[in-house]
Amino acid sequence: MTVHTPERKHPVFHPEALAGQVALVTGGGTGIGRATALALAAAGARVFLAGRRAELLAESCALIRRAGGEADALAGDLREPGAAERLVDAATERFGPVTTLINNAGGQFAAPAETITANGWAAVYRLSVEAAWSLSREVATRCLIPQRRGLIVFLAFSPRRGISGMVHATSARAALRQLAADLAAEWGRYGVRSIAVAPGMIDTRALAQYPAADVAAWTASVPLGRLGTPEEVADAIVFCATDAARYLTGITLPVDGGADAWGAGRPAPTLPDPSAAEPRAGEPNGADHDP
C-alpha cells in the first residue's frame, strides 16, 4: 500500500505565536527533539536545547539561527546528579526564565520481557522518568510557579496498550502520562499546564534498529496508512504551547495516525484493490463468507 504523506506548503503557526516564550527542549539534537526545537523557534520562541552529543546540538542550533531564530544548548547527561540544576542555570542565564519545558529525552531498546535485566530496566527509567521528573520540578519551582504560567510536555507512547518487546519503555512512558495528569491537577492553581504528547510510529533514524518486517507490520496498523513525521509531532507540541491551547491540561494527545483508536491486533482496513474481481450480484464476498 502506497500512501501519500502531505507536505506543509505554508507555515502552520504565525511567526510570533510564541513571542516572549523561552522553551527548553531535551533530546534536541535529533528526531522529534530537533523538529520540535525548530518549530518552536519558527513560532517565535527562544530555544535552549539539551542532549548528550554536543555536535548534534550545535547542528540544531545552527539550523534555528539560519532560519532567523535564537537558540543555544548545553551538552550533558540528565541522569547525572546536579544535571537538572546546571541545565536550568544555563538556560535562564542565556534567555531568562523558562516558560515551556519539552521532556523529549528518552531511550529504549527492543527485548523480550524475560531478558531485561535490572540494569537495563533502571537505565530506561532513569532517563525517561527520573530525569524528566527532576528537570520538571527544577523548572517549575524556579521558573513556572513564580511566573504563574507555563507548560510542561512529556513524550509518551501510542498506542496506549500492550506492545510486545517494549515492556520497559512502554511502562516508563505510561508513568509519564500519569505524571502529566497529576501535575496538571496539582500545579494548575499556579497557572502551570501539563500535557503528555503520545507519538505513534514516527519515521526517524531510530527506526533503523528494528527489523523491516516489524516496521511494515506497525505501519499496517495505522489507519492513515503511513508512518508519522517528526514535524507532525512538533506541530502538535507547538500548538499545545500557544494560546489556542490555553485551556488544555492533564490530557494525553496521541499523534499517531489513528493507531490508538484502531486498537486491534491486525492491520487496519485499506481501500480495495481495484484490480481484484468484484463479486457478481447475489454471490457472497469471499472475505466475509463463512464456509
**Per-residue pLDDT tens over the stretch 79-103:** 999 999 999 999 999 999 999 999 9
Region 192-212 average pLDDT: 90
CB 173 within 8 A of CB 155: yes
pLDDT at 47: 98
State the pLDDT confidence band at 214, using cuts at 50, 70 and 90. confident
Cβ atoms of 24 and 87 within 8 Å: the answer is yes
Are the CB atoms for 167 and 116 separated by under 8 Å?
yes
Q: Please name which of 267, 250, 260, 255 lies closest in space to residue 160, comparing C-alpha atoms.
A: 260
- Evaluate if residue 268 carries a pLDDT over 90: no
In this predicted structure, the answer to whether residue 46 has a pLDDT above a threshold of 80 is yes
Q: What is the 3-state secondary structure (H, E, C) of the chain?
A: CCCCCCCCCCCCCCCCCCCCCEEEEECCCCHHHHHHHHHHHHCCCEEEEEECCHHHHHHHHHHHHHCCCCEEEEECCCCCCCHHHHHHHHHHHHHCCCCEEEECCCCCCCCCHHHCCHHHHHHHHHHHHHHHHHHHHHHHHHHHHHHCCEEEEEECCCCCCCCCCCHHHHHHHHHHHHHHHHHHHHHHHHCEEEEEEEECCECCHHHHHCCHHHHHHHHHCCCCCCCECHHHHHHHHHHHHCHHHCCCCCCEEEECCCHHHHCCCCCCCCCCCCCCCCCCCCCCCCCCCCC
pLDDT digits (tens, 9 = 90+) for 105-159: 987 777 888 888 999 889 889 999 999 999 999 999 999 999 999 999 999 999 8
Q: Which residues contact 85 (CB under 8 A, 6 or more apart)?
A: 138
**Pick the residue with more confidence: 59 or 284?**
59
For the whole model, what pTM was predicted? 0.88
Given a cut of 60, whether residue 70 has pLDDT beyond it is: yes
Strands 46-51 and 100-103: unpaired
pLDDT band at 287 (very low <50, low <70, confident <90, very high): very low
Residue 213 confidence (pLDDT): 87
Q: Which residue has the higher pLDDT, 266 or 27?
A: 27
Digit-coded pLDDT (tens) for 150-198: 999 999 999 888 777 788 888 999 999 999 999 999 999 999 999 999 9
